[in-house]
Structure 1
C-alpha cells in the first residue's frame, strides 16, 4: 500500500447510517468507564516514581474550573462566579499538588508540553496567572526556548487588551479560542454572545505576538442551527483563517448537565440536519485546504499537527490529538486525568473533596487503572488507526513481540464486514482506512477494544458521529 492521501475524504450516507452507533472517542485506551476505585493514590505515587527510569519528557495539564458566565451547552466540570477571589484557595491547593508530584518525580525532566484548560483559565486575574506559571517554573523544568507546546484555552469575551501579551510573556505559544457559532440567534440561545469582530481581533493580535497554531472551536447541533446558517458561519471562519479547527458534536444531555436544561430541545436541529451540517463542514474545510486530521479536528497542511500525522508521529490523549507521544502526562486540578507510563489516574471531581485531600498532603486520586500487556498492545493499535488511518502489522509484530495475524485473528475476522463495506483495505498484515472509513474510524477501533459491552454502549458513550 502506498502513502496515504490525508486530504482524501468520502461521505457515504448508507455507511454513515449503518455504522453510526454509540462508541468511545478513544482519548484513552482502555477508556474512562474502565477506570476503577480500586486504583488509589499509592499506585499513582508508584507510577510517578517508576516513570523516572525512562527520563521521558513531561506534559503538564492544569484544570482551572472557573467561568464568569455559563454557556448553556457546556458539559465541563466548572464553577460559575465573577469573583476571582474564589480562585485563591484553589490555586494554593494546585501549588500543594505540584509539591506532591515534585516529591516523587525527577523534575529535571523537560516539560515539552503544558496546557491550561477549564472552565476558562483566563478567568484568573493577570496576577494569579503570573503566580501559577511562576510556581510551576519553580518546581518543574519549563523550557525557555519557545520550542515546547505551551497552550491555553481562551474565551475572547473574558480577556483584556493586554492579556494575550502577558500570556506570551509567560511562555505560552499556542492558543485555542472558543467560538462555537457566529449566528446571533444561536449565540443568544446558548448564552454566548460573541461578535465575529471580537474573535477576529483576538486572533490577529495573537498572530502579531508570535503565537502559533491558533485554534478555533466550533460546535454543531446547537439550537436554531441549520445547514444554511452553519455554512454561513463556516465561510466567515475560513475568512478568519485559523491554523486549526475543532468541530465538536453537541450532545444534549440535560439530565446530566444542569445548564443544558435552559436549552429547548425543540429548537435543536434534527439528526438528519446534524449529519448534513457535518458533511458540509468536512467537505468545505477540505476544499478550503485544511487536512482532515480525524474525528473533529482539522489543520492546515503546514501546521505541526498535519506534519506529525504525515510523519507518523501523531498521538491521541485526553486533550485530543497531540504531537507529543513521548511525554508522561501529569494532570493537576479537579477531575483531571494523568497518563504516566502504563497507568491512568483521575482526580476528584469536586473542588471541596479535591482541596480536602490535597490539604491533608495526599493526592486526590479517586480512580484509575494499571494497564496489562494486552491493554498496551491494543492501545498502540487503536492509536495508529485513529491517528494515521493505517496499521502496519509486520512492523507492529516487531515492536510488540507478537504475531500480528495470530494475536488479532478474531479482530481481523470481524473487520471482514468493514472491508466488504469499503471502510478498510486489508492486504496481508497491512490495514488502511479508506477515505469513506475515516469518518467512521471509531467503529474500526472498536473492533480492537476488548472491554466493549455491546449491551451498555448506548449508556456509556455518544454516537460515533
Structure 2
C-alpha cells in the first residue's frame, strides 16, 4: 500500500525528458552553419523521422502548453503552407533526401483544422521532396475529433497514414467546460469508429490527469469510457501547469486543481485499471496492447523517446519542419523560430528557419543515453553503458548515485543493472533527474519546470 501523503514530498519541478539536455539549454550558440554542416554530413544509411508542426487552432484549450496560433482564416493557413513548402525545398537542397523515411508525424495546433484539400497539398509536397518512405513507415497525425470529416481521413489514408492520436483529455462535462474544450463522448467515439472504418490500423487516445475539478472518482469514469472506445494505445499525461509560460493557464483557479496526493491516486488507479483491461505500461505515461509495436519495442530494447513521446523508430535523425519544430541528430538538437515573423523572414532570405539549439558534448551524450533508457525502460544496462562510452559507471556517476539514495526504496542497483520497481515508476522523472547535471542551476527556482507529481 502506497503512503500517498508521504509521497507528496517528492513533488518538485522537473523535466519530462523528451530531450536531454532539455530545451531550456538551447541557445543561439548553436549557430546556423553548425546545423547546416550536420544536415549535409548525415549518415546516408541512417533513416529519417519527419515532424511537421501545424500550429493553427480555432480557439484556445486552456490546459494546452503547445505553440499555437488562433485563427479562423483559411488564407492565413494557406500562407503558412506556402512557407512550409519553401522550407521543404530548402531542406531537400541541403539534406540527402534519398535517405529512407521511417516515420512522419503531424502535430500542432490542430492538424485536422486544415481542410482535406490543404492536407493533400501538404502531403503531396512532402512526397515530392522525400520519396523514399519505407514500407513499414509509421505515418501519424494528431486529431481533434471536433475537427474531423471523412474527406480528411480519405486524404490521410490515401497517402499512407496508418496511425492517429485522438485528443480527449477528460470526458467529464464540468472539466471540459473549465478547460474550454467541449467534446462529448459520442463525438469522440464516432471519430474513432470512422478512422477504423477508413483503414487506420492504430488508434491512440490522449488523456490528462491533474486538470481542474478532476477527482479520482471522476477520472475513473473517464477511463471506463476511454476503454469502451478500445484504442490500441493510451497516453495518460500529467497536466503541466506552467502559467508563467502559457497565459491561458492563468484562467484556472488553482484551488480547483487536484493536489499531488489525489494525482498520485489517479495515476496508480490508471496503471491498475488499464493493466486489468489488457494494456501494458510502456515507459512514462504510455500504455499499449501486448500486440502493439510499442510493447514489442519495449521487449526487444528498441523503444525510443523523443519530442513526440515514445516511438518504435529509434536510431533515426529527426527533422523538424515548420514553426517551432525541433530536430534531433546524433550530437545536436535544433529548433525553428517560435514566432511567425522570424520564421518567414529566414525563409524569405533563402535560409532554413533555425534559430537555436545545442551541440551535445561527450558528457551530454552519455547522460542522454542513461536518462532516456531509464525513461523508456524503467531500467538501465550498466555494462552496456560502460562498453559504449568507455567509463566505469560507479566512479563516473558517484555523485548521481549518492543523490539516488534518497529514492533507494524505489530502485534496485546491482553491478550490472539499475531497475525501477513498480512504485518507483510513479517517480521516474525524479529518478532520471539524479543523472541530469544541468539540474543544479534550477534548485530553488520556482518557475522552471512543471511538477513531477
Q: TM-score, normalised by structure 2?
A: 0.95
Question: Cα offset for 1:418?
Answer: 2.4
Name the structure 2 match of 1:381: 370
Residue number among 431, 449, 453 corresponding to 1:461 in the alignment: 449
Q: Hey, what's the Cα distance between the residues in 2 that align with 1:275 and 1:389? A: 18
Q: Hey, what's the Cα distance between the residues in 1 that align with 2:412 and 2:5? A: 18
8 Å Cα contact 1:144-1:171 kept in structure 2: no
Which piece of structure 1 moves more, 337-346 or 278-287? 278-287
Question: Cα offset for 1:54?
Answer: 5.0
Question: Cα offset for 1:236?
Answer: 0.9
8 Å Cα contact 1:12-1:436 kept in structure 2: no
Are positions 1:138 and 2:125 aligned together?
no
Q: TM-score, normalised by structure 1?
A: 0.93
CA-to-aligned-CA distance 1:308-367 (integer Å, 9 cap, x gap): 111111111111111111100000111111102211111111112111111111122221
Are positions 1:366 and 2:355 aligned together?
yes
Aligned residue pair count: 452
Q: Hey, what's the Cα distance between the residues in 2 that align with 1:104 and 1:433? A: 43
Are positions 1:444 and 2:431 aligned together?
yes
Name the structure 2 match of 1:3: none
- What does 1:242-321 align with in structure 2 at a 5 Å threshold? 242-321=231-310
8 Å Cα contact 2:11-2:260 kept in structure 1: no
DSSP-derived class of the 2:428 partner = helix
Residue number among 24, 36, 40 corresponding to 2:15 in the alignment: 24
8 Å Cα contact 2:241-2:450 kept in structure 1: no
Cα distance, 1:111–1:296 mapped onto 2, change above 3 Å = same
CA-to-aligned-CA distance 1:106-129 (integer Å, 9 cap, x gap): 111011000000000111111111
Residue number among 72, 77, 102 corresponding to 2:62 in the alignment: 72
Question: Cα offset for 1:457?
Answer: 5.0
Name the structure 1 match of 2:419: 432
Cα distance, 1:261–1:18 mapped onto 2, change above 3 Å = closer
DSSP-derived class of the 1:437 partner = helix
Q: Hey, what's the Cα distance between the residues in 2 that align with 1:126 and 1:357? A: 28
DSSP-derived class of the 2:439 partner = coil
8 Å Cα contact 2:119-2:155 kept in structure 1: no
CA-to-aligned-CA distance 1:423-452 (integer Å, 9 cap, x gap): 111111321111121111111211111111
Cα distance, 1:11–1:244 mapped onto 2, change above 3 Å = farther
Question: Cα offset for 1:11?
Answer: 4.6
8 Å Cα contact 1:11-1:279 kept in structure 2: no
Residue number among 64, 77, 85 corresponding to 2:75 in the alignment: 85
Are positions 1:101 and 2:91 aligned together?
yes
8 Å Cα contact 1:294-1:439 kept in structure 2: no
Structure 1 residues without counterparts, runs of 5 or longer: 1-9
DSSP-derived class of the 1:235 partner = helix
Question: Cα offset for 1:144?
Answer: 6.4
DSSP-derived class of the 2:21 partner = coil
Name the structure 1 match of 2:31: 40
DSSP-derived class of the 1:200 partner = helix
Question: Cα offset for 1:368?
Answer: 0.7
Name the structure 2 match of 1:5: none
Cα distance, 1:198–1:349 mapped onto 2, change above 3 Å = same
Are positions 1:352 and 2:355 aligned together?
no
8 Å Cα contact 1:41-1:364 kept in structure 2: no
Q: Hey, what's the Cα distance between the residues in 2 that align with 1:375 and 1:134? A: 38
Cα distance, 1:430–1:176 mapped onto 2, change above 3 Å = same
Residue number among 84, 101, 104 corresponding to 1:111 in the alignment: 101
Are positions 1:340 and 2:329 aligned together?
yes
